[in-house]
Structure 1
Amino acid sequence: MFFLKDERGGILPFTISVLGVIILAGALAVNTVRVEHRRSVSQSILDICVLNSAAQRQTLPPREALDDCLVKHGFEAEITAFEATTGRTKSVTASAETSLESFFLRETQTYDIGVASSAAEALTNLEIVLALDVSASLLTAGGGSALPFADLKAAAKQFVATMLAEDTQGRVQITLLPYSSHVNLGADLAAVFNVSNAPQNMMVNGAQVGPDVTQKRCVDVPASGFGQTAISRTTALQAVPFVDTLGSTSQSTSYVAPTNATFAVAQLQNTVCSFFRLAPSPSTSNVVRLPDFTAAGQQGTVDTVAERIAALQARIDGLQATGETSINLGMRWALAFLDPSMRPVFGDFASQGRMPEMSANFPTDFGNATGVKVVVLMSDGTNRTEARMPDNLARGPSPFWIGNDGNMSWFNAARSGASKYWVPHNATWQAMPWQNATNSGAAARQMDYEEVWRRMKVSYVAWHFHARSVSQATGSANNAARAAAYSAAMNTYLPSANSITDSTKDTQLTQACNAARLQGIYVYSLLFQTATTSSPTLASCATAPSMSYNATPADLQAAFAAIALHISMLQLNE
């Protein structure tokens, strides 16, 4: 059987059918793309505007801020639901709907498009301790004509202005902590700790002896306390005595009176507890300042951001450079003021009108998700060995006597013979303490060591009582004898065996830095490069290598600005 081959047929109907399917699929694809584009654009705009209205820095009411933003972005949908909350956590939730008609379809269809967005921003508490080295080496000019100390002040002032610039709600708390040989707490802050033997103003026969020391409050931190953050308010802390160990004297054979303001009189700025007598009186220069701390009844002077910045900058301007370097103590006290155990202290000061009410909530607990704790630790060099006077030579009966005419004598028990009292003003030895030229009137009075050091520098005592008593004659042999006597006296009053060495301070600094890491405290270290030796221990104290900065006087402000920017990023990320 045969079949005929016939290639004629109806391909056209098939082609038309396929073409129709293609056109329909294309129309559906176009409409799908259009719907997705509208949805994507609407979602993006709504996300942007919800974030904007939820921002803590947004000054407009949330709904007003949202509507204003949507109009500016040409938002084509209609808000169907809105909810906002304000407070420490500000949140905004919004929903919107829009529609889109189809293209290319025989019967027009309407696509309903819905979008929703929500955002929240919590206020992050930022607690900063700005620990600034104010040792005397900052008074040594570097390569330029300006002193490094002036550069430090300018950079620190810019830093606090940056950090406080938009803090209208008091969530940024900055403690200013200057340090050199020690950290001076000042009278108000020292009063909250159990401090013993704090220097007091001394009165003799109704007259004050020596300077006003009411703000001079440095204390010794127990060696065992550097591995923790809190400093107990009940444990006894020994106050550092008032002794002018840093001042110099005139080493001549001629008599210099103990009232000589340049070479004899003990000066506030020459003690290891850094302090200066500047206006207003009593001075708080070089004293720790808690956040927005003021005198009683003066909180109204730090109400605005501008006033808070100005008050803190004024304190920075008032800092004075003196003493040696104890980075370990600067870091140790910085941790104490970030520890939650200080919250009752902040609360008490707030209730007394010395700090803002907001400050009563600080320091926050460690690990609190709403807070970031930061130490900015700045120094221009290494820890320095510090000479310390033994307690028995700082307090208690002394071998020094004062006559009723104000002249003094010194009892030298080691001298042979009956004449054991050296009288500097007439360069003689005698058997009794000097009373006056006629040995009449009130008897000579034995001074306590506290009175001796309140009146005179250690160097003056060592030279004009010890060295000059050996000989007043000239010549190399006599000069050598006086020099040996002076050195022996200085080593007696400030023995090397009683010193706190730089290596001990480095160990204590390392312990304090490790304690900061354990509690999640961020540490920025800033080495201010001058002529002094750099400190590897300071660099290693930083939380991360990227948080350790080296800066010359010329770029110190840039370093502080970089730290401020990094802290702001931490605040956002937290």
Structure 2
Amino acid sequence: MHRLFKNALGLRKCRAFAHDESGALIIFTLYILMAMIMIGGLAVDIMMAEERRARIQFTIDGATLSAADLQQTLEACDIMEGQFRSAGFANVHVNHTRNGAQYESCGVAEPDADIAVDVASVEGIGYRRVEAEASIRVPTLFMHWVGIDYMDLPVSGAAEERITDIEISLVVDVSGSMGNPSTSGETKIFELRKAAKEFFTAVVKNDPDDDSAITSVSIVPYYHTVHVGEDLLDQLNANGGTVSVQNPITNPPGLTSVQSEQQFSSCIEFTPNDFKSTAITPSQKLTRKAHFAYGSSSTRFPNYLQFECQEDRFDTRYAANSRPHIMVHRTEKSQLDAHIDTLTASGNTAIDVGMKWGVALLDPAIQPAVKTLADDTTIPVPSRVNDRPANYWVPSVSANPQDETLKVIVLMTDGVNTTQYGQTTENQYPYINFKNSPAPVWRFKNWSTHEGKRHDRWSVNRNMEWYDQYLIYVPGNSWSNRWYRPGDPNTSWDDQWYSTSEIPWDGIAQMDWVDLLDDFHVDYMAEFFWDEAERYYHSYYGWSTREDPMEDKLKASMITQTNWWQANTNLSEICAAARAKGILIYAIGFEVNTGEGPMRDCATEGDAYYFDVSGREISTAFAAIANHINQLRLVQ
């Protein structure tokens, strides 16, 4: 019985122990604690590994950049080893492959090295690329508890410097506001000249004996137009030819033929459609801007007519106001500097026209013209650019655009597009087509020899003056008043009328509109020739009455305007066309207070390639652009 009682008591104790849960939380806490230690240890191991990886990544990046520098004389493996040791990694081994072959002179095999780096360098004329890979093994402090003794982390980097052929169009504003003071205290154009020459120093580093990688720069100065220059226009289709005059005047004998393109100006008139294309081809028909002075404080030559396309024709009338032409693909800094120093400021602003020429000089369509200039030893375009502009980058031919010629435009302005003046549609008005039509004006061939003399019917009771050389033909008048000679523009008493029989036919010659407009600005020509005599021939020429001023009608017949809105549209079109061809466009707004939008819109990647600067900051902008062109690029 006693034994049976003891057995029952023991059974009750066993059952109580089995149901007793006291102390269970301690076991659970131990498991949680172990898990927390593992998670914290994992974070510590990862943090330590990442810190080491970041140090090695930074070291590899710096070493590849330094080794890829074309001016670097040390071998890539020596640079890599030196960088790692300087960073505190003493036990490192670098394996170097150079241009696909093992390079033996760097390092000694160290199988137990803490860090092994494989370096591959490829270099040739004008480029060097360095790639590096390393696999580092970092011992773990906590993760080895779960069987992970090491963490293997791959690190890689690459850098490249490549001096490719570079073509640059520097398109710069030389409008009147560029003559205003800058915030620097100097004029804006002074700051432009200085910054541009510093830019040339940075980017034009051509080896005279090495044509494998050349930088050429074209300069396109613009105001309300662009002076192309006869050398370039002679290679393009802008000279026209001789055309027959329709229904020439025979009594007295007049012009029977004229030149279809005047040769007084080398500026080109573009239509909106022209801005949709980057190309100007040698066969493309170009229309020269009309030779006229739209307005002037002066009345007539000889000294101060402000022509829309102000050319220096070795004539004292124009030399003071002549403008520099486009400089085509130069490779010598001295030539570029000298051209920049000739820039002067005046006129309105036509950013679109400047950009059109800047882009055209990078488009391969104009290459035959550049080749002709480069092959002509009498023209200072270097022979080494006779294959420029190069073809655009074609992705199907080359995977890397930098394997091809880099094409760059630097576009600078200090304002916004303003009004441009041009010519009307050809034959829009029947009485005037100043491009290629005879004018109803004859001139004495040797009028100056008559100064101080009296000539019967031709005498005006005074010495002969410049205004005595012109005769106006009025076919609608009677025979006795068929010819009109304006007298002193300040009086009306000595104007003369003549019959056809009184005209010395062999001593006069008919003028065309271009020659006539070379002597007078538009307003004054209208007033001098026709204001007094208008009532006599308005029915013939289509003019109405004196209440509707003659000069306004004449001016309207030959002048059209491109307003700022159309110019902005043109600019947007040509910039988009250039970007589509892979041309890099840097835009500089120099103390532009309003209207930055068109320039930002033009630049590659918008704000990333647009610089808003003032004063001496323009030099900083040019320096940043030069650095970006030349920069050493991390490519991985």
Q: TM-score, normalised by structure 1?
A: 0.66
Map of 2:98 onto structure 1: 83
**CA distance in structure 1 between the partners assigned to 2:585 and 2:133 by the alignment:** 43
**CA distance in structure 1 between the partners assigned to 2:184 and 2:159 by the alignment:** 51
Give 1:145-544 correspondences, 5 Å limit: 146-164=186-204, 170-197=213-240, 216-250=265-299, 260-262=301-303, 270-276=306-312, 286-292=324-330, 308-352=332-376, 354-357=381-384, 360=387, 362-367=389-394, 369-370=401-402, 371-379=405-413, 380-388=415-423, 391=426, 392-403=433-444, 404-406=446-448, 407-411=468-472, 413=474, 418-419=480-481, 420-425=483-488, 427-432=494-499, 442-467=506-531, 488-495=550-557, 498-529=560-591, 534=595, 536-544=597-605
1:509, 1:537 within 8 Å by CA — same for their partners in 2?
A: yes
Instruction: Check if 1:551 corresponds to 2:617.
Output: no
Distance 1:38 1:329, change over 3 A: closer
Q: What is the SS of the residue equivalent to 1:195? A: coil
Q: Which runs of 5+ in 2 are unaligned?
A: 1-50, 100-121, 135-154, 243-261, 396-400, 427-432, 449-467, 536-545
Per-residue displacement from partner, 1:202-239 (whole Å, max 9, x unpaired)? xxxxxxxxxxx979422233432221212232222222
Instruction: Check if 1:58 corresponds to 2:52.
Output: no
**CA distance in structure 2 between the partners assigned to 1:405 and 1:291 by the alignment:** 47
1:326 Cα deviation from its structure 2 partner? 1.7
2:61, 2:157 within 8 Å by CA — same for their partners in 1?
A: yes
**CA distance in structure 2 between the partners assigned to 1:334 and 1:364 by the alignment:** 16
**CA distance in structure 2 between the partners assigned to 1:45 and 1:493 by the alignment:** 72
Q: What is the SS of the residue equivalent to 2:280? A: coil
Q: What is the SS of the residue equivalent to 1:538? A: helix
1:128, 1:374 within 8 Å by CA — same for their partners in 2?
A: yes
1:187, 1:215 within 8 Å by CA — same for their partners in 2?
A: no
2:276, 2:577 within 8 Å by CA — same for their partners in 1?
A: yes
Per-residue displacement from partner, 1:505-539 (whole Å, max 9, x unpaired)? 222222212212322333233233379x6353333
Percent of aligned pairs sharing the same letter: 23
2:224, 2:420 within 8 Å by CA — same for their partners in 1?
A: no
1:132 Cα deviation from its structure 2 partner? 1.1
Distance 1:491 1:555, change over 3 A: farther
1:311 Cα deviation from its structure 2 partner? 1.6
Q: Output the amino acid matched with 1:421.
A: Y
Count residues in correspondence. 473
Per-residue displacement from partner, 1:145-164 (whole Å, max 9, x unpaired)? 64333233223223333333
1:274, 1:286 within 8 Å by CA — same for their partners in 2?
A: no
1:139, 1:149 within 8 Å by CA — same for their partners in 2?
A: yes
Per-residue displacement from partner, 1:434-481 (whole Å, max 9, x unpaired)? 99xxx879422221222223344334423433457689xxxxxxxxxx
Distance 1:261 1:173, change over 3 A: same
2:159, 2:635 within 8 Å by CA — same for their partners in 1?
A: no
**CA distance in structure 2 between the partners assigned to 1:364 and 1:287 by the alignment:** 25
1:526, 1:549 within 8 Å by CA — same for their partners in 2?
A: yes
Map of 1:29 onto structure 2: none
Larger CA deviation: 538-547 vs 492-501 = 492-501
Larger CA deviation: 57-66 vs 404-413 = 57-66
Q: What is the SS of the residue equivalent to 2:269? A: coil
Per-residue displacement from partner, 1:10-42 (whole Å, max 9, x unpaired)? xxxxxxxxxxxxxxxxxxxxxxxxxxx999999
Distance 1:159 1:393, change over 3 A: same
Q: Match for 2:176 among 133, 136, 143?
A: 136
Distance 1:318 1:568, change over 3 A: same
Map of 2:36 onto structure 1: none
Q: Output the amino acid matched with 1:52.
A: S
Distance 1:244 1:53, change over 3 A: same
1:390, 1:494 within 8 Å by CA — same for their partners in 2?
A: no
1:421 Cα deviation from its structure 2 partner? 0.6
Distance 1:365 1:431, change over 3 A: same
**CA distance in structure 2 between the partners assigned to 1:244 and 1:528 by the alignment:** 29
**CA distance in structure 2 between the partners assigned to 1:337 and 1:67 by the alignment:** 47
Per-residue displacement from partner, 1:418-440 (whole Å, max 9, x unpaired)? 434132348412125899xxx87
Q: Output the amino acid matched with 2:438.
A: P
1:427, 1:469 within 8 Å by CA — same for their partners in 2?
A: no
Give 1:555-566 correspondences, 5 Å limit: 555-566=617-628
Distance 1:197 1:135, change over 3 A: farther
Give 1:84-99 correspondences, 5 Å limit: 84=99, 86-87=123-124, 88-91=126-129
**CA distance in structure 2 between the partners assigned to 1:424 and 1:535 by the alignment:** 52
Per-residue displacement from partner, 1:132-181 (whole Å, max 9, x unpaired)? 12223333456776433323322322333333358886443322111222
Q: Output the amino acid matched with 2:274.
A: G
**CA distance in structure 2 between the partners assigned to 1:433 and 1:573 by the alignment:** 83
1:384 Cα deviation from its structure 2 partner? 1.4
1:312 Cα deviation from its structure 2 partner? 0.7
Q: What is the SS of the residue equivalent to 2:328? A: coil
Q: TM-score, normalised by structure 2?
A: 0.60
**CA distance in structure 2 between the partners assigned to 1:432 and 1:567 by the alignment:** 72
1:125, 1:372 within 8 Å by CA — same for their partners in 2?
A: yes
Give the number of the structure whose alpha-carbon radius of gyration is greater: 2
Q: Output the amino acid matched with 1:175.
A: S
Q: Output the amino acid matched with 2:66.
A: N
Q: Which runs of 5+ in 1 are unaligned?
A: 1-36, 97-114, 200-212, 251-257, 293-301, 303-307, 472-483
